[in-house]
Amino acid sequence: MSRIAYVNGAYVPMSDAYVHIEDRGYQFADGVYEGITVASGKLIDLEPHLDRLERSLRELQIAMPMGRRAMTFVFKETVRRNRLANAFLYIQVTRGVAKRDHPFPANSSSTLVVTARRLDLAAVKSRASIGINVSSQPDIRWGRCDVKSISLLPNILAKQAAREAGGFEAVMYDKDGYVTEGSSTNIWMVTKDGTLVTRSTDDNILPGITRATLMQMAKDLQMQVETRAFKVEEAKSAAEMFLTSSTSCTMPIVKFDDTVIGGGTPGPAATRLAEAYWAYIEG
């Protein structure tokens, strides 16, 4: 069966899924996106994802293409038509089609594209049992990283540099050497006394949905959580590190550049949280 996409009111085969050449997403990266994990047919953390989508659109003064109930129907129908149980659902909204000009067009309709592809959750879980390597990369992104913009070229460059260095993910750091976030993830460390530390979302980082879910789980498990900045050097001396995202869930980090973290195996805090999160999405 060919994959099906939703494009501006129509469900079409991927081979026929197109947007106009003057769509502002294509010409200016004038749009936002969301990515939602689907597990056993359930859209994980749907409402928080919709909240973040609406916020990003408000910040860029882009109109919601439809109401939340209608959009939720489109999401579920896209998954159904692709006959997927476990999937990554990608949603993109742009300002729409208009003559190429930098100011906002006076009249344009938002473009909505939704796609779904199979997500191998078993492979994610297997990778988490071993852990991953990461590479430090300078953060050269724009000053509104709280908006989930489709303008991702700095993230792409960081991710590619990390892959060329043998890392699964890039851990980005600012001009003062403080860790900001991953190229497509949020970064955590665990101190020697067992405190979980991740950077505050007030510091111009994306408010990760999985990050927020894990933070609540950690508190429910009576684990100490601290939101503050930390430098690359502190992270390399931490007892544990891990990252969170919709597609990586909770992923232990066992090597940071040339530094082995936690003896090179997933630590107890990351493992405990991973087990809680898998129970959450599978339950």
pLDDT in the model for residue 144: 93
pLDDT value of residue 255 = 98
Residue 220 is predicted with a pLDDT of 96
**Domains of the chain, with CATH numbers?**
4-119 (3.30.470.10), 124-282 (3.20.10.10)
Query: Is 215 within 8 Å of 48 (Cβ atoms)?
Result: no
Backbone dihedral region of 127: left (phi > 0), alpha (psi from -120 to 50 degrees) or beta? alpha
Question: Can 148 be counted among the known catalytic residues?
Answer: yes
Strands 87-94 and 31-39 come out as: antiparallel
pLDDT (0 to 100) of residue 283: 81
Ranges of residues in the chain with a pLDDT under 70 are: 1-2
Q: d(Cα 45, Cα 260) in Å, to the nearest integer?
A: 33
The whole-number pLDDT of residue 167 equals 97
Q: Say how many C-beta atoms besides its own lie within 10 A of residue 83's C-beta.
A: 12
Q: Per the residue annotation, which of 42, 99, 125, 148 is the catalytic one?
A: 148
Beta bridge partners of 34: 91
- Position 282 scores a pLDDT of 87
Rounded distance between C-alpha atoms, residue 42 and residue 22, angstroms = 35
pLDDT value of residue 48: 98
pLDDT tens-digit series, residues 24-62: 999 999 999 999 999 999 999 999 999 999 999 999 999
CA–CA gap between residue 97 and residue 109 (Å, rounded): 7
Per-residue pLDDT reduced to its tens digit, 180-207: 999 999 999 999 999 999 999 999 999 9
